Amino acid sequence: MTALLTLTVLVLVAIAIWQMTKIFELSQTKTEDAEIANDSDNKINGYLLFTFLVFIYGITIFSFVKYSKMLLPEAASAHGGEYDQLMWVSFAIIFFVQTITQALLHYFGYKYRGQKGRKALFYADNDRLEFIWTIIPVVVLAGLILWGLYTWTNIMDINEDDDPIVIELYAQQFNWTARYAGDDNVLGDANVRLINIDKANVLGIDEADPNGEDDVIVKELHLPVGRKVNFKMRSQDVLHSAYMPHFRAQMNCVPGMITQFSFTPTVTTADMRMNPDVVEKVKRTNAVRAERAAEGKPNTDPWEFDYVLLCNKICGKSHYNMQMKIVVETEEEYNAWMAEQSTFKQSMTPAE
């Protein structure tokens, strides 16, 4: 009801402003045709151009100052620094070009505004200008593209040379399941046609494949710091996207095929919780939650930072809630956690 009343008031205010504008126009007694801009109109529009230029510069600076706190903290993966460097260089080029082009655009709009008795000079073409504003963007964009391809090639370093941990990320509406390759570090064959809910084989692992016997299926992802991880990704139903923002990692999960991504975590969960940016974010978030709790609203429990795996494709009505907790810990802590997990063979063995 409140929203309806607010909308009604806004509509009435808009109508009132429109009517006042029409009255103002009718009250003007100028003899000149109001449909034709005169020197005074052009001068006012020129000043308005400069006003808008100040506005867009101001809103840009304000946005950086006000919302830079929303940016992610330092990357928690070996390749993340190179990824962030490419992004910030791209930002710097974009804002540098924007600053210059917007200033020239608005300045020329004022300087060469229409004036009575002055006729615009027409240029059919200018080869030098055409060359300058064509070759500079080509060179800059080509440099960014080549740098991006080089960075992507380095990031997509999926091989077995570094003794990586092999983990499958299995996506389905609307949750994630992780499968570790076990002691042999080889995942057993799997297919959605082999899913057997009655036997709790929710990933469709081939029970006849010995490589799958020691696979470990979990709902919380644990990674040892400093150890490379090769992720193999599958989707049961629709297109999903495995997105781990703090590790600067993302890869689509496509039904009917296996996609891959690899990275090495470099910061444990405990250490990241001590990061000043993360500490400040947790403080701000919990302050908001405390206000909501005082008003009796839900979802007000204090929040603690955790790495998270998200779905970055709109995959259905509960897409927003498709996430999995990621814990980065020491090798010793990781080994202790793995020792507590049951293998696929154990889960398939009937209890006596």
Confidence of residue 32 (pLDDT cuts 50, 70, 90): low
Model confidence over 98-117: pLDDT tens digits? 899 889 988 888 888 877 77
| Confidence at residue 306, expressed as pLDDT on a 0 to 100 scale | 93
Q: What percent of the chain has pLDDT over 70?
A: 93
Helix axes 80-111, 127-155, angle to 10 degrees: 160
- Characterize the bridge pairing of strands 229-235 and 165-172: parallel
The residue ranking higher by pLDDT, 260 or 37, is: 260
Confidence of residue 206 (pLDDT cuts 50, 70, 90): confident
Of 110, 111, 100, 96, nearest to 50 by C-alpha is 110
Any long-range contacts for 48-51 (C-beta under 8 Å, 24+ apart)?
Answer: 49/106, 49/109, 49/110, 50/106, 50/110
Look at phi and psi of residue 332 and say left if phi exceeds 0, alpha if psi is from -120 to 50, else beta: alpha
| Confidence at residue 276, expressed as pLDDT on a 0 to 100 scale | 93
Is residue 19 pLDDT above 80, yes or no?
A: no
Is residue 95 pLDDT above 80, yes or no?
A: yes
Model confidence over 214-239: pLDDT tens digits? 889 999 999 999 999 999 999 988 99
| Terminal alpha carbon distance of the chain | 61
* Residues whose CB falls within 8 Å of the CB of residue 206, separated by 6 or more in sequence, listed in order: 188, 189, 190, 191, 194, 212
Of 306, 324, 308, nearest to 172 by C-alpha is 324
Q: What is the pTM assigned to this prediction?
A: 0.77
CB–CB of 275/73 below 8 Å?
yes
Confidence of residue 26 (pLDDT cuts 50, 70, 90): low
Is residue 170 pLDDT above 90, yes or no?
A: yes
| Confidence at residue 5, expressed as pLDDT on a 0 to 100 scale | 67
Confidence of residue 24 (pLDDT cuts 50, 70, 90): low
Least confident range of 15-24, 94-103, 120-129: 15-24
5-41: b (≥16 Cβ within 10 Å) or e: eeeeeeeeeeeeeeeeeeeeeeeeeeeeeeeeeeeee
Tokens of 161: 């040379």
- Which three-class secondary structure state does DSSP give residue 256? coil
- Characterize the bridge pairing of strands 229-235 and 175-180: unpaired
